[in-house]
Amino acid sequence: MRANFIIFYQIFSILTFNSYCEVGKILLGHSRKEKPLEALNKGDLSSGLDDRTINIGNTKNGIIKMTLENNLVSVNHLAVLKNGDLASSSKDGTIKIWDPNDGSVKFTLNEHSKGILCLAVLKNGVLASASFNSTIIIWNTNDGSVKFTLNEHSEGILCLAVLKNGDLASGSIDGKIKIWNTIDGQLKKTFIPDSGWVWSLAILQNGDLASGSGDKTIKILNANDGSLKMKLNVSSAWAQSLEVLKNGDLASGFGDNTIKIWDTNDGSLKMNINVGSEWAQSLTVLKTLKNGDLASAIDQTIKIWNTNDGSLKNTLTDPVKTRYIKTLAVLYNGDLAVGYDDGSIKILNMNLIFGDTENKAKTKSDTQDNEEKSNSSYSKESESVIEGDKGCNFNDFLVNKDDCKGNLR
C-alpha cells in the first residue's frame, strides 16, 4: 500500500485536478508553480501558489489586488463558496476561508491529518474536502465547524463530484466510488466499477455518473444504483480529465495527447482529436468555453476546438518555451485564464481573439484606459499585430487567425 502512495505522489506532482474538483493580461507577483484556478463571483481570478501565497488578480486591469498570505505550506486547491468567500486547501491538511474583499482570514479548518487533494462546494453551500488520509469532511462554512466526517474509503481520495440530487460522489485510489447523503453524512452506496484507481468524475446532463479509471476505461454509471450503462474503452492511457459539453457530450483528455468526444446516449465515439505535442505524457486540460467550444492545453499551446465537428478553430502559442501550461479556468465573463508552472497567470480575452466585432471597440477603449492607469511597478506587455497568415501577437501569444488585422492599441 505504501508503494501505491509513493507512486501516487509522483504522479500527483505533475497533474492538476481542478477539472475534477469543483470549480490577455499578465498577472504578476507569482514566483512558484501555479496550482488550480478558480473564478470568483465578481469575475476576479484567484490562484494557489507553491510560495505559500494566494494572489487575487483583477481581470479588468491585470494588477494584483491583494496577496493573501498562507504562512503554513503551499496551497493545493481552491474553491469559491456560494457567498463569494474563497476556500484554500494545503498539503498540511488545513483549509483557510478568506474574505476576498479585504484579504482577511475568517477562520482556519484543520481537522485533516494529511494533505487535501480536492474541494467541492455542495448545493446547500457547505464545503466538502477530500484528503490523502482517505477521509472526507463536510464543513459548515458559516462558523468553520465540522458537520460530518466520512471515512469509508481505505485509501486516498482523488476526486469529488456533486450529483444532481445534491449527493456527493467520491472516487479513490481504492478503486471505489462512494455516494454520500450530504444532509446526514450517511453512506448511501458503494460502486466498484472495475479495477484501477478512480481518477476523475463528471456528472452528465441526465444525471449519470462518468468515471475515468486507472484501467484505461471510462464508465457511465447509473447514479441511483451504480449499474454499468456503458463502458468506453478509450486508449492506451487513462483519462486525466473529463468535461461535459454544452450539448451533453462527454470530452475526455488522455496522457497520449488525444481528446475523445463521446455521445453519452449510446456510447459511440464521435470524434478522436489529436492535440499534438512532442511530450508523450503531457497533460491535456479541458475546459468548456462560454460559447460551447472546448479549450485544450498542452505544453505552451492552447487549442480551441469546435465541438460540433472537431475542427480546430484557433491555436494560441506562448513563445516562451521554458514555461508550461498547467491549468485552465473559464471566468464568469467568458475570458480564459491560463496558469503556468512558472507562477504566472494570463487572462485571454476570447472575444478579442475571435474577432467579436460587437466588443472590439469597447475592448480597445478599456485596454487604453487600463494602460494609462497602470502603475509603473507593473510591467506592460506589448500588444501588436502581425499582418497575414502568421496571425496576431496578442500579449505575447501568437494567435493563428486568418482575419486578424488592425492594431489593438
Which residues lie closer than 8 Å to 147 by C-beta, 6 or more apart? Answer: 126, 138, 139, 140, 185
Q: What percent of the chain is modeled with pLDDT above 90?
A: 16
User: Which grid coordinates are listed for 78?
Assistant: 481552491
Q: Which of 79, 35, 42 is nearest to 57 (CA)?
A: 42
What are the tens digits of pLDDT across the range 194-234? 668 888 899 999 999 999 887 788 999 999 888 889 988 76
pTM tops 0.75: no
> Is the C-alpha dihedral spanning 144, 149, 150, 154 positive or negative?
positive
Output the average pLDDT for the chain: 71
Confidence (pLDDT) at 240: 73
What are the tens digits of pLDDT across the range 9-68? 434 443 433 434 543 444 444 444 445 556 667 776 666 655 555 555 565 554 335 555
Q: Look at 86 and 267; give whichever has higher pLDDT.
A: 267
Q: Which of 296, 292, 229 is nearest to 265 (CA)?
A: 229
Inter-CA distances, 39 with 118, 286, 330, 332, Å: 16, 16, 7, 7
Alpha-carbon distance of 181 to 168, in angstroms, equals 7
Alpha-carbon distance of 409 to 407, in angstroms, equals 5
Say how many residues make up the chain.
409
Q: Which residues pair with 38 in a beta bridge?
A: 46
Q: Which of 232, 231, 235 is nearest to 255 (CA)?
A: 235
Contact (CB, 8 A) for 211 and 217: no
Alpha-carbon distance of 83 to 101, in angstroms, equals 12
Q: Look at 65 and 323; give whichever has higher pLDDT.
A: 323
Which residues lie closer than 8 Å to 287 by C-beta, 6 or more apart? Answer: 19, 243, 294, 295, 328, 329, 330, 336
In the chain, the N- to C-terminal Cα span, in Å, equals 58
Q: Look at 118 and 8; give whichever has higher pLDDT.
A: 118
141-162 per-residue burial string, b: 16 or more CB within 10 A, e: under 16? beebeebbebeebebbbbbbbb
Confidence (pLDDT) at 282: 43
Alpha-carbon distance of 50 to 249, in angstroms, equals 35
Task: Say how many C-beta atoms besides its own lie within 10 A of residue 167's C-beta.
Answer: 19
Confidence (pLDDT) at 279: 46
Contact (CB, 8 A) for 278 and 269: no
Residue 277 pLDDT class (50, 70, 90 cuts)? low
User: Which grid coordinates are listed for 236?
Assistant: 492506451
> Is the C-alpha dihedral spanning 95, 101, 102, 106 positive or negative?
negative
Contact (CB, 8 A) for 179 and 161: no
User: Which 8-state DSSP code applies to residue 284?
Assistant: P
Q: What percent of the chain is modeled with pLDDT above 70?
A: 57
